[in-house]
Amino acid sequence: MIAQLDALGVRMAKARAAVGGVIFGQEQVVEQTLITVLSGGHALLIGVPGLGKSRLVETMGTVLGLETKRVQFTPDLMPADIIGGEVLDEVDGRRVFRFVPGPVFCQLLMADEINRASPRTQSALLQSMQEQRVAIAGVEHPLPRPFHVLATQNPIEQEGTYPLPEAQLDRFLLAIDITYPDRDAERAMLLATTGAETQSAEGVMTPVELMEAQALIRQMPIGEAVVDAILAMVRGGRPESTDIDVVHHHVAWGPGPRAAQALMLACRARAILGGRLMPSLDDVAALAGPVLRHRMALNFSARADGVALDEVIGRLVERLG
């Protein structure tokens, strides 16, 4: 297993470099997106327009060898526009129903501005994410393997949107904040993307190799200290069981067991990306925000006192020692 983990670490380093060669100034975003896919999960990309979210998903698909599709979510989008539906066709003189797959039948789906779709359409996509299949007219159709969704949200424009319910947000492994690049990265981006030739990524993995890597991640050993830290962080974020004052007084509801599962998998994947054979407490601290920020909610008292969710998560990280 040590040899397999070493080889996977080398391959993921190549994948990270390939994506980073196209996406400038977003090293942490690239890392967290790779962690999501390597863990077998889905990610919610949160950022204003123009920060390269679409380019990131396209590049990820190329580097990992995944069939990629994109859906622009709008209020009039129907579930059948996502998962597909049946059409009446004529075969050998008989009229029969034929299933036409929707764009969800791919390996990497970009759900652009997912919060602009109606709750009915959102739930159709999120059910596919959870169950890895769709059911049409009582017949189940499995989705391709592997299957990952990278959904985007604009945190500024909220008019005409349908915020995702908390139970559906919990289906995303990580919530990744995308911010503006620094000056040097933005300068490099300008020079690389406005010339006669644009840089493109090359494939590093195949879908089969990715699934093998995802299975290997689950076999990776993890120390008792890291397991205890994950449990302490998740349980410490619940107002019913915490001994942290800011959580007890300002958190309406805390992360559930799925948060601990996500943190466990993500820490293993981050260790591989860092060339290590076991996760550490640094991995727990680095991934606390992306794992917890969409699995916790503040109460009215927190808003009145000006307490931010990142501040609460920061207090949980401080307890790691």
Domain parsing of the chain, residue ranges: 18-76+103-194, 220-321
Could you tell me if 159 and 120 are in contact, meaning their C-beta atoms sit under 8 angstroms apart? no
Which residue blocks in 117-180 are alpha helix, DSSP H? 119-131, 166-169
In the three-class reduction of DSSP (H, G, I as helix; E, B as strand; rest coil), residue 71 is classed as: strand
Alpha-carbon Rg for the chain in angstroms: 21
| Averaged pLDDT, 221-231 | 93
User: Which pLDDT tens digit goes with each residue over 267-319?
Assistant: 999 999 998 989 999 999 999 999 999 999 888 988 888 888 889 999 999 88
CATH architecture of 220-321: Orthogonal Bundle (1.10)
Tens digits of residue pLDDT in 97-116: 888 888 999 999 999 998 88
Distance CA(131)–CA(318), nearest Å, equals: 36
The residues with which 148 forms a beta bridge, in sequence order, are: 108
pLDDT tens string 170-180: 889 999 998 88
The third-level CATH classification (topology) of the domain covering 18-76+103-194 is Rossmann fold (3.40.50)
* Its pTM surpasses 0.75: yes
* pLDDT exceeds cutoff 70 at 321: no
Is the separation of the CB atoms in 44 and 174 below 8 Å? yes
Beta-strand pair 148-153/43-46: parallel
Q: Which two tokens stand for residue 286?
A: 């680095």
pLDDT of the residue at 20: 86
Residue 171: closest CA among 129, 132, 111: 129
Spell 148-157 as b/e; 16+ CB within 10 A means b.
bbbbbbbeee
Length of the chain as a residue count? 321
Tens digits of per-residue pLDDT, 241-266?
888 888 888 888 889 999 999 999 99
Query: Which positions ≥6 away from 103 have C-beta within 8 Å?
Result: 69, 70, 71, 81, 82, 109
Do 267 and 284 meet the contact criterion of CB atoms below 8 Å apart? Answer: yes
Tokens of 123: 């739930």
